[in-house]
Amino acid sequence: MNGAIVYCSQTGFTEKYARWLAEDLGWEAVAYADRGSVDVAALDVLVFCSWFHAASIKGAAWAKQAMAQHPDVHAVVLATGATPPPDSGWSSEDEIEQAFCRTFPEEECPNLPHFYCHGGFDFDRLGAIDKVAMRLFFRMLGKNAEHDPKAREMLDIMREGFDGTSRECLKPVLEHIEGFGKH
């Protein structure tokens, strides 16, 4: 199979997953800025990796356009976020699913394989606008933290920064992609 991984990453967590996938699949990982160099029509599989930004996924418009223009190419989406994964008990499948569906609605992208992998948070590496957005978010969390211990814990984790990436998280993604070769 011939594939490519296009990744959109600001602080490096999504890039880490994209590079792991590239290593495991033997495909190229291409930064979003260089997406024009990818000949999507020549691929069997396009993996789009990006991150959750205010409950939508960065760079999704390009991915949706590529999928619409090349319906014969298998597309897979991997998104990272700061939200702890459902098996941690912090979030629910539904929450994550809704966030995916907002960006890739079923009517527009039917049966799109999509995966959530825990990313991380690194305030210092954010762009100026996102720093402002996160300061506002922290302020809101701070208010909630007065009566909600979960918000308190989340605020502490985010302020401190964390790396939640794990190669294990890619197992279902790799299994799914390997499945394409069997049909």
Contact positions vs ligand FMN (CB under 6 A) = 9-15, 51-55, 80-83, 119-121, 126, 130, 133-134
Q: How far is the CB of 10 from ligand FMN (least distance, A)?
A: 3
User: Of the two residues 4 and 117, which places its CB atom closer to ligand FMN in the complex?
Assistant: 117
By beta carbon distance, the residue nearest ligand FMN is: 119
Q: How far is the CB of 76 from ligand FMN (least distance, A)?
A: 17
User: Of the two residues 40 and 82, which places its CB atom closer to ligand FMN in the complex?
Assistant: 82
Q: What DSSP character marks residue 84?
A: P
Q: What is the DSSP code string of 119-131? A: -EE-GGGS-HHHH
User: Of the two residues 27 and 121, which places its CB atom closer to ligand FMN in the complex?
Assistant: 121
Q: How far is the CB of 74 from ligand FMN (least distance, A)?
A: 23
User: Of the two residues 3 and 120, which places its CB atom closer to ligand FMN in the complex?
Assistant: 120
β-strands 114-118, 74-81 pairing: parallel
Query: How far, in Å, CA of 70 to CA of 119, rounded?
Result: 29
Query: How far, in Å, CA of 164 to CA of 141, rounded?
Result: 20
Q: How far is the CB of 98 from ligand FMN (least distance, A)?
A: 11
Tokens at 52, concatenated: 């959750």
User: Of the two residues 138 and 180, which places its CB atom closer to ligand FMN in the complex?
Assistant: 138
Q: How far is the CB of 69 from ligand FMN (least distance, A)?
A: 25
